[in-house]
């Protein structure tokens, strides 16, 4: 069973295409290549999962800005109640 191999394939090749009676090479390069391919798949899946999650949790309609002030005609407008406030300028 173990002595009659016609060819030797890497781990990645065996996972993708199947070994079909061939011996599987257990070298450092073969293991790192399979691990690298696995990491690329995981990172790609995370990227698409985050995009999908952001799309699913997105607010349906954007909220309009309620605090937009009308444009001022003068750069400064004096508030008559400011003189009685707790925070005052030392110059009056």
CB of 1 within 8 A of CB of 23? no
Q: What is the mean pLDDT of the chain?
A: 79
* pLDDT category of residue 38 using cuts at 50, 70 and 90: very high
* pLDDT category of residue 91 using cuts at 50, 70 and 90: low
The stretch 47-72 carries a mean pLDDT of: 77
In the numeric block, the tokens 């257990």 are attached to: 26
Map out the domains of the chain as residue ranges.
1-58
33 pLDDT exceeds 70? yes
**CA distance linking residue 21 with residue 38, whole number of Å:** 24
Please state, for a pLDDT cut of 70, what percent of the chain lies above it: 61
CB of 7 within 8 A of CB of 20? no
CB of 11 within 8 A of CB of 33? yes
In the numeric block, the tokens 């995009």 are attached to: 51
For residues 22 and 84, the model is more confident at: 22
**CA distance linking residue 23 with residue 13, whole number of Å:** 11
Taking the chain, what is the end-to-end CA distance rounded to the nearest angstrom?
101
Tens-place pLDDT, residues 11-23: 999 999 988 888 8
């Amino acid at each position: 069973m173990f002595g009659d191999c016609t060819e030797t394939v890497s781990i990645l090749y065996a996972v993708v295409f199947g070994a079909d009676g061939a011996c599987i090479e257990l070298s450092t390069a073969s293991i790192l290549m399979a691990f690298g391919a696995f990491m690329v798949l995981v990172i790609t899946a995370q990227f698409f999962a985050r995009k999908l999650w952001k799309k699913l949790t997105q607010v349906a309609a954007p909220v309009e800005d309620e605090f937009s002030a009308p444009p001022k005609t003068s750069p400064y407008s004096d508030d008559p109640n400011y003189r009685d406030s707790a925070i005052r300028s030392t110059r009056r």
